[in-house]
Structure 1
Amino acid sequence: MFAYAEPAELIDAMSSAARAESAAIARRLEAVAALFRSRKCDYAEAGFLHTDVYEAVAAEVSAAQNISRSRAGYQVEMAVSLYTRLPKVAEAFARGDIDLRMVQIVLARTKNVEDDVIGGLDKAIAPKLSRWMRLSKNDLRDRVDLWVADFDPAAVRVPPEAKDNRYFDVTPDVPGMAFAGGLLNARDAAALDQRLEAIAATVCSNDPRSHNNLRADAAGALGRGESTLTCECGAEDCPAAVLRESAAQVVIHILAEQATVDGDGDKAGYLPGFGVLPAEEVRAAAKTAKLKPVRLPGAEPEKGYRPSAGLKDFLQWRDLTCRFPGCDAPVERCDVDHTTRWPFGVTHASGLKHYCRTHHVIKTFLTGVYGWRDEQRRDGTVVLTAPTGHVYTTEPLGGLLFPTLATPTAPLPDVEVPEDDPDKAAMMPRRRTREQERRARIARERRQRIEINAERERQHQAWLAATYEPPPF
């Protein structure tokens, strides 16, 4: 496209594309905000009194954009906040004057501003934002905070304490490997560091691994409840061999074809939460693992509401994740859902699948004209119809990776299902809605800021009193 373009044309194209990108994102968020307003009215009229509108709209956004529930939920919160509290900032965004980075920072720093004040702040800062585009994240944050302090001093965000930011993540990396790391309490980190060093030192000096490799392997031993490593020097009289301790009872599950385990095939396995596992890693794990075949379910439905251990095992490996469009919550955090509600739907693989708790609640309680409908095929494919009539199809991840798990199971009998209880949606179980949680957080943080400001003023007055010298007479 730009093979023969002049530099000036490239600069113009770049600038135009950046503005168009911002305008397109603004239009998407405006549509999300409008959907939220519409659904809020719809659910109120239908009597869905305890429905969390944020979660319900996030489900539609997740399916429409094929994104996760958390990303969809963040998008709904951002869109609603932008178009209800900062319409002037939204206009600048739609014109392409500012980008998404600026919008996110402005939204974050103005979260605690009272509703009766936010309009004036919006009008004051919106014309200035285009000139602030060049500022770094920290400088932009400080600039917005100054304006927030002028309009609503109690609304200036309170920095979280360092201890509240601690975390430890274990996430997949390249096939067969994972990243582990985070921010720990200093004493805990020191203890962990010493523990890794102690375990790494249990091999002899001829072990071929580097010190970093040994520390990484020591982390694995720690996870298994072991206090020593197996030395890889290869010597029969290795002095470290006598130090070897057995592992504690730690269980991980790996899904693989029998041919891979036997060495007759090289199809990768699957480690839940970490993705594909190379064939050689599967065979290495199989040497000391307990092997358990995944059995296909029988033709006859089970009698109880809860599936048997064998059927649940099959369903977990077939699905691997929540079956709602865009949701990747692992089955360990999901409920088994009867596609045709119990007791009319039978307990059988052809009519069972996994939904995370949020999507299970939405499917079960948000019914009728504004609700979701789902149907299930014998190979585990789920077809969902959204309140708007849009249709989304999801296939089981385990069945995609290992086609045997997608073998069609037995057909189910046709049954008559009575209409849902019209009051069921109104009793949708909730702890607190996102709006209630948002207001509680804002109130808590405003109290903290008021206390901080009062203490600063007290210290300032004390300093004035200590340094005051009366005039001579």
Structure 2
Amino acid sequence: MFEGLVDSASRAEMADAEIDAAIAAWTDAIASASAHRLLLIAEKTSRNYDDDWECQDDTEAAWNSAAAEVSLASRISHGRASGDMEVGLALTRLPRIAAAFLAGQISEFLVRRIVHRTANIQDTDVLAKVEDEIIERAVYWGGLSKQKLDDAIDVWVDRHDPAALRRTRARVRDRGVTITESKEGVTEIIARLKGPDAALYWRRLTLMAQGVCPNDPRTLDQRRADAHGAIGAGFFHLACECGSPDCAAAVDDGRGSHVVVHIYAEKAALTAQPDPLTNGENSDGPGSSATEGCDDTESCEDPEGSGVTAQADRRAVHLRPPPGVIVGFGHVPAEEIAARIAGGASRRHVKAPGIEPQPRYRPSAALDEWVRARDLTCRFPQCDRPAAYADFDHTVPWPVGPTHASCGKLLCRQHHLAKTFWAGWSDVQHQDGTIVWTTPAGRTYTTRPGSALLFPSVSTVSAPIDTPAPVPTSADKIRTMPTRRKRNRARAIGYRIKAERALNDAYVAERNKPTPF
């Protein structure tokens, strides 16, 4: 155990200088621990390949199998595990950087930036020269911002191998749309667009927002935000929410009636009413609080002498119907579900599956729907791929395993193929939908249905059923696994580096052209 570890009583007695020293020591320890972890990940990764792994066609499956084990051992997503594997392997090409990292002299953040900015250097001798230049200075770079740090690294990459620069000026190639995690019923969408496209999009949102009557309670920004939902439904107009039956703009905009979005919720969520306070300007003025007149830290006795305090009343006021969830987008307040239903959305209660197995490979629509409502996401550990994009998987392969809720679950396509083709992996399913996974190394991980985590009052138990043990997957089966990649991982990385270096060469050539008179 680290020597600087102290309990709360001892920390309270430490002088400021001692606290600063302990913070510095723990910072070094964290860096060293991160270095050990990444290099162990690199060792784990390299054991999945032969010496000529860059020429093998089945490396994508081997990579993903290793990434799955790293993901579970690190308690991170598959994508982050794959990224850590790439960083770990890159560190084996940067021995001096790795040594400083192990000694706690440089941080993980700095190391990841060095790995990223030097990734296009293919010549090992050139890479060694760049590493020598960087390592002499990197210990002083800890306080730099991300941009300044990248610039400091690029100075030496540009000096020794200009074609290897990671050009940020090609920003237009990074355009795309990112949806962030939903918080309190609101999801952020970040769109990186070309300038003309952004202008067209903003103009369309504004026209839609201005198409309602003056009595609409929403602000202009709120109407622009709601216009996204109408565009998603295929409409270019926004329904007015003034509430008047005679309003010419109160026409259906498809946000409730023309789009199928599965919002999973308990029955109690359907008892809510639309919340009128979600529109208009924010107000913290007098009368806005349901508990006005009582201090939050005091209990005010009920004047009728019932003994019920204002604090208890205050808690009762905030007891809301449970929220629903759109898988992949987060919680949906019950009031918003009610608003969608009022706008024309239909609701359907999921029926529990029957006791007897179904005599076919594909589950019925009712069974498939129930399993999707139970699982909500892919059931592989650390995977949160939504149910809408997952396959029904027989825990014991058909026809030995029956088509039944107690022997079936959701797996995304990658993990469905993985379970079928990766050697050494196995899973056992319990009656309540709990899955126990075992890795090739013998470690076990347990996943529980998403509905059991989000809706505690909902039962996930299905009828018991006897199933035989599955037949272990042979080691050679991974070589027959289908892949969507045109190239294996090593070739794909090499292709990206070659393409980026070619762009840099073209940029330098264009810059060096003589200026015509």
TM-score (norm: length of structure 2): 0.81
Tell me the residue number matched to 2:278.
Answer: none
Distance apart, 1:422 and its partner CA: 5.4
Q: Write the distance in 2 (CA, Å) between the matches of 1:403 and 1:134.
A: 46
Tell me the residue number matched to 1:387.
Answer: 440
Higher deviation after alignment, 255-264 or 424-433: 255-264
Mark the CA change 1:375 to 1:194 in structure 2 (over 3 Å): closer, same or farther: same
Mark the CA change 1:102 to 1:418 in structure 2 (over 3 Å): closer, same or farther: closer
Q: 1:100-147, CA deviations, whole angstroms, 9 ceiling, x for partnerless residues? A: 221111111110111432234334422321123343333322232232
Tell me the residue number matched to 1:116.
Answer: 124
Tell me the residue number matched to 2:325.
Answer: 270
Question: Match of 1:301, as an amino acid?
Answer: P
Mark the CA change 1:412 to 1:393 in structure 2 (over 3 Å): closer, same or farther: same
Question: Match of 2:435, as an amino acid?
Answer: V
Q: Aligned to 2:208, which of 176, 199, 203?
A: 199
Distance apart, 1:200 and its partner CA: 1.6
Question: Match of 2:445, as an amino acid?
Answer: Y
| 1:260 equivalent in alignment to 2:269 | yes
Tell me the residue number matched to 1:290.
Answer: 346
Mark the CA change 1:235 to 1:291 in structure 2 (over 3 Å): closer, same or farther: closer
Distance apart, 1:17 and its partner CA: 1.7
| 1:15 equivalent in alignment to 2:24 | yes
Tell me the residue number matched to 2:221.
Answer: 212
Distance apart, 1:22 and its partner CA: 0.9
Q: Write the distance in 2 (CA, Å) between the matches of 1:419 and 1:14.
A: 50
Q: Write the distance in 2 (CA, Å) between the matches of 1:433 and 1:163.
A: 27
Q: Aligned to 2:451, which of 398, 402, 418?
A: 398
Tell me the residue number matched to 1:357.
Answer: 413
Mark the CA change 1:155 to 1:192 in structure 2 (over 3 Å): closer, same or farther: closer
Question: Match of 1:441, as an amino acid?
Answer: R
Distance apart, 1:90 and its partner CA: 0.9
Q: Write the distance in 2 (CA, Å) between the matches of 1:390 and 1:68.
A: 17
| 1:335 equivalent in alignment to 2:343 | no
Mark the CA change 1:221 to 1:98 in structure 2 (over 3 Å): closer, same or farther: same
Q: Does the aligned pair in 2 maintain the 1:167–1:183 contact within 8 Å? A: yes
Question: Match of 1:282, as an amino acid?
Answer: I
Q: Write the distance in 1 (CA, Å) between the matches of 2:470 and 2:24.
A: 58
Distance apart, 1:283 and its partner CA: 2.3
The structure with the greater share of residues assigned to helix is 1
Distance apart, 1:42 and its partner CA: 11
| 1:87 equivalent in alignment to 2:95 | yes
Q: Aligned to 1:347, which of 380, 388, 403?
A: 403
Q: 1:293-326, CA deviations, whole angstroms, 9 ceiling, x for partnerless residues? A: 1111111212222212111111111111111111
- The percentage of counterpart residues that share the same residue type is 39
Tell me the residue number matched to 2:491.
Answer: 436
| 1:101 equivalent in alignment to 2:109 | yes
Higher deviation after alignment, 24-33 or 195-204: 195-204
Tell me the residue number matched to 2:379.
Answer: 323
Q: Write the distance in 2 (CA, Å) between the matches of 1:146 and 1:124.
A: 10
Distance apart, 1:11 and its partner CA: 1.8
After TM superposition, the structure 1 = structure 2 runs for residues 65-84 of structure 1, keeping only pairs within 5 Å, are 65-82=74-91, 84=92
Distance apart, 1:263 and its partner CA: 5.0
| 1:182 equivalent in alignment to 2:237 | no
Q: Does the aligned pair in 2 maintain the 1:338–1:345 contact within 8 Å? A: yes
Question: Match of 2:426, as an amino acid?
Answer: R
Q: 1:39-84, CA deviations, whole angstroms, 9 ceiling, x for partnerless residues? A: 335998xx995553331211001111221111111111111111x2
CA RMSD of aligned residues (A): 2.7
After TM superposition, the structure 1 = structure 2 runs for residues 39-54 of structure 1, keeping only pairs within 5 Å, are 39-40=48-49, 49-50=58-59, 52-54=61-63
Question: Match of 1:58, as an amino acid?
Answer: A
Mark the CA change 1:141 to 1:263 in structure 2 (over 3 Å): closer, same or farther: closer
Higher deviation after alignment, 60-69 or 132-141: 132-141
| 1:158 equivalent in alignment to 2:167 | yes
Q: Aligned to 2:251, which of 215, 229, 244?
A: 244
Q: Write the distance in 2 (CA, Å) between the matches of 1:183 and 1:416.
A: 50
Q: Write the distance in 2 (CA, Å) between the matches of 1:242 and 1:308.
A: 42
Distance apart, 1:87 and its partner CA: 1.5
For 2:37, what is the secondary structure of its paired residue?
helix
Mark the CA change 1:161 to 1:48 in structure 2 (over 3 Å): closer, same or farther: closer
For 2:402, what is the secondary structure of its paired residue?
coil
Q: Write the distance in 1 (CA, Å) between the matches of 2:470 and 2:183.
A: 48
Mark the CA change 1:37 to 1:210 in structure 2 (over 3 Å): closer, same or farther: same
Q: 1:139-165, CA deviations, whole angstroms, 9 ceiling, x for partnerless residues? A: 322232232233333322233623212
Distance apart, 1:196 and its partner CA: 1.7
Distance apart, 1:180 and its partner CA: 2.5
For 2:265, what is the secondary structure of its paired residue?
coil
| 1:169 equivalent in alignment to 2:178 | yes
Q: Write the distance in 2 (CA, Å) between the matches of 1:94 and 1:23.
A: 4
Structure 2 residues without counterparts, runs of 5 or longer: 1-7, 274-319
Q: Write the distance in 2 (CA, Å) between the matches of 1:100 and 1:152.
A: 24
Q: Does the aligned pair in 1 maintain the 2:177–2:190 contact within 8 Å? A: yes
Tell me the residue number matched to 1:127.
Answer: 136
Higher deviation after alignment, 202-211 or 109-118: 202-211
Q: Does the aligned pair in 1 maintain the 2:130–2:160 contact within 8 Å? A: yes
Mark the CA change 1:298 to 1:42 in structure 2 (over 3 Å): closer, same or farther: farther
Q: Does the aligned pair in 2 maintain the 1:230–1:241 contact within 8 Å? A: no
After TM superposition, the structure 1 = structure 2 runs for residues 445-460 of structure 1, keeping only pairs within 5 Å, are 445-457=500-512, 459=513
Q: Write the distance in 1 (CA, Å) between the matches of 2:259 and 2:122.
A: 50
Q: Write the distance in 2 (CA, Å) between the matches of 1:30 and 1:315.
A: 40
How many residues align? The count is 454
Distance apart, 1:420 and its partner CA: 4.3
Mark the CA change 1:153 to 1:242 in structure 2 (over 3 Å): closer, same or farther: closer
Q: Write the distance in 1 (CA, Å) between the matches of 2:17 and 2:470.
A: 67
For 2:437, what is the secondary structure of its paired residue?
strand
For 1:122, what is the secondary structure of its paired residue?
helix
Q: Write the distance in 2 (CA, Å) between the matches of 1:127 and 1:85.
A: 17
Q: Write the distance in 2 (CA, Å) between the matches of 1:243 and 1:56.
A: 54
Tell me the residue number matched to 1:221.
Answer: 230
Q: Write the distance in 2 (CA, Å) between the matches of 1:453 and 1:231.
A: 55
Question: Match of 2:410, as an amino acid?
Answer: H
For 1:340, what is the secondary structure of its paired residue?
coil
For 2:217, what is the secondary structure of its paired residue?
coil
Distance apart, 1:403 and its partner CA: 4.6
